[in-house]
Structure 1
């Protein structure tokens, strides 16, 4: 596959992240080979859209053509592209050299429908001593239990992802109405991965060498956020299973719950007993609290959840929001 025939989509929604967006765009243009197009998709924010048009030279700027939310915003960007493979990067992330080439390389195998790279948390304040490695997904990072080398995996994260465009189109992209909006969080990237694999029998590859840094704001280091995020994940996984016709889609979660997390608890308690620091006991406690919060979220979704309606493409909200090359 020609590595140069790749586009990159960066979704964004707030001016607060403008410096990070500029850095993200710069890190993409610095990739070798350079992508043939960089698309910035703006989620229902006219001020941010106009600034991006003015101040991001060489970038295609689009307005989200779907309802508010990151799922429709990513779909807007990907559907504009014409390349066989499209990569996605979060607007506040920084792609290290070799990121794009690493994500694209596995597509030489026609059975690969998508890839994802390693995500390293970039902590705004010191990481809490109680925060377990197994729960780094709470802050959008790669966590203990993921492959250490390039290997097949059920799902990756859209903060650092590449998709085979024809399969993405086959499943109609990210599920609009199921994703991250405000404080509500749903695993729209996991859902996409499952649907793309099921549609073709293809597989996803995790590429640890394709590295990005992803910032962790100070507010996300608090126990309250940790528990809220676990609760939301529990709700989201139950809703995802419903949308994908049952619990078969949750095999990875069962392995995580029955193998990875018990080992984490046992290791933390054993280290604490051996006098290696109270932080190890705190980590074990955080694992148990996180599981409990996710369980409560799962029960809440079983009791109160409803199947979200599928939202179809519509005309751009802002009539003047045309793409700029």
Structure 2
């Protein structure tokens, strides 16, 4: 069981969520019954009394698919998301829909899927029991999940039919701890000509610069990712609402090695992008505030934190993306220069956000240090009671 050591949102630091207690040990027998019921090995005796052990082929891991939702505005998209999981060529052992602090949506979902509790796969509708939001909702679902592998799909993303099979295939290698797939953007109003593909991450989609074949990746995309349940327990669950995917990946890589977190671009989902997101306002705010928030997230990770992925992204965007836009402009693409300019602006905004985050963190740590010093001085200045004085003999 995990110690619940992190402070809930609304009580402590903004954006960080309470650790869950994933009761894996108590579910051990339930998981065995819910899957194959076959033991991993069988021990017997030969006629001459010598004990022999006959190893059987290990059963494939079971998979729980977790979809978190918070608003009725995405109702039709959520229905498509759940339906896409039901139609997978590789069926999960369950689908968990976790509703984040929305009673109306919870009751609507519970009623809609009331007759699916005994279906194949069964659909379970639950409520986020912690104070946070996305990270806490995922923790709530992970706590009750029966699968060996936890696959996370956004409520506005629909999976291709072979998504789950491809996403979880790498887990045949015991060294693999987390696997992410490729969310492909589906624009409601079309992609703006000025918007660079290197920045599709701002609305949770795959972007130019990611591996084009299966390979290690420091930061999986939360709309389409998975992790071994035992490893999620080991890292203490999700620690953040705004950077839950990044935080989990860094912590898994820290204990298992960077090769344990991999990206499988063939595992695709279609991620809806509303018209409000591919805009300049959304672009600059995400570039600035995401990277500002990362500073606090990295500080919480301790030794697991690394800026290697960010440095590689900046290098690729500036050395590949900018020249490509200029070259396209020279060939007659009127928006090529605009994309190059947007890349430079996005990198600059990200850098500014990082600096602002470092300043904010330094100020907070200084205030905490000052408060601790003041408390020590106040304690030292308090008169010692007669009963506690030492008597010389």
Q: TM-score range by the shorter chain?
A: 0.7 to 0.9
1:139–1:216: 8 Å Cα contact kept in structure 2?
yes
**1:98 matched residue in structure 2:** 162
| 2:216 is the counterpart of 1:160 | no
Matched ranges for 1:1-325 at <5 A: 2=59, 5-56=62-113, 57-58=115-116, 59-175=123-239, 178-179=240-241, 186-201=242-257, 203-245=260-302, 249-272=306-329, 274-305=330-361, 306=364
Aligned CA RMSD, in angstroms, stands at: 1.7
Partner deviation per Cα, 1:74-116 (whole Å, 9 max, x = no partner)? 1111111122111110011100011000111000111100101
Mapped partners of 1:72, 1:129: distance in 2: 37
Q: 1:207 to 1:247 in 2, by over 3 A?
A: closer
Q: Gaps (5+ residues) in structure 2? A: 1-57, 117-122, 366-393
- Which residue pairs with 2:44 in the alignment? none
What SS does structure 2 have at the residue aligned with 1:210?
strand
- Structure 1's unaligned 5+ residue stretches are 180-185, 308-325
Provide the rounded CA distance (Å) in 2 between the counterparts of 1:271 and 1:247: 40
Deviation per residue, 1:212-260 (Å, 9 max, x gap): 0001110112111100010122112222222223795110111111233
Instruction: Specify whether residues 55 and 248 from structure 1 end up closer, same or farther in structure 2 by C-alpha distance, changes over 3 A only.
Output: closer
> 1:26-49 CA deviation, whole Å, 9 max, x = no partner?
100111221111100010111111
**Structure (1 or 2) with the larger CA radius of gyration:** 2
> How many residues are matched?
298
Shifted more, 66-75 versus 258-267: the winner is 258-267
Moved more, 39-48 or 242-251: 242-251
1:4 to partner: Cα distance: 7.0
Output the CA distance in 1 between the equivalents of 2:86 and 2:331: 49
Question: Residues 75 and 141 of structure 1: is their aligned pair in 2 closer, same or farther, counting only changes over 3 Å?
Answer: same
